[in-house]
A = this chain, B = another copy of it.
Amino acid sequence: MKRPPDDLAQRLLDVSEQVLGATPPPRLEDIAHQVGASRATLYYYFAGRDDLLAFLLTAHTQDGAQAVRKAIDPDGPPEQRLREMVAALAGYLARRPGVCVGLLGALGAAGRMTEVLEANDEWIAGPLRELLTECRASGAVRVVDVSDAANAVLGGLLLAVLGRAMADTDPSDPGFLAELRDQVLHGVLA
């Protein structure tokens, strides 16, 4: 499938929060209108609605992965890097509640949206699993199955951020993000 030129892609990304998070989900025509293009143009570049959403989510996934990478001190000990990664992920998602909705939707729409799940697995869950494996090797973590552990971590982040967004309390609040990070890392028990 042909990929859209940079300027169209950028305009789509600019409105992606609206596209992914709005309720009810915007019609293709509305999306086209928002980016100053026509419905036909979107169909020219995307196989359909799902393909368009997958493009947006994949882009955000890669963007998020890059943001996370930047937030990690590559020379720090594994445990510190894990802390930084969880915090960076939480911060990234908190600024993009629509992306959270979209990712959960991609999970629910299991079957379609394979591209998104694969991208997420490669760019987000994969690095997290690697880091968990490293932490386990150094004894900082007692996880048995890193895949399950990574899923639980990401689920906790996603739902906590989304819950805040839906309750109209700022998910970007530093206190909340710090709490969330600590809970994911150390659990709810003291």
Contact = CB atoms under 8 A, between A and B. Distances in A.
Interface of A: 23-24, 79, 82, 101-102, 104-105, 107-112, 117, 132, 135, 139-145, 147-149, 151-160, 162-164, 166-167, 175-176, 179-180, 182-190
Given A108-B108, A145-B179, A162-B107, A188 B24 contact: no
A190 B108 contact: no
Contacts of A162: 107, 151, 155
A34 B50 CA distance: 28
A186 to B, nearest CB: 4
Contacts of A182: 187
Given A107-B159, A143-B179, A152-B159, 6 more contacts: A23-B112, A148-B179, A152-B156, A152-B160, A155-B156, A155-B157
A160 B164 contact: no
Contacts of A107: 101, 104, 159, 162, 166
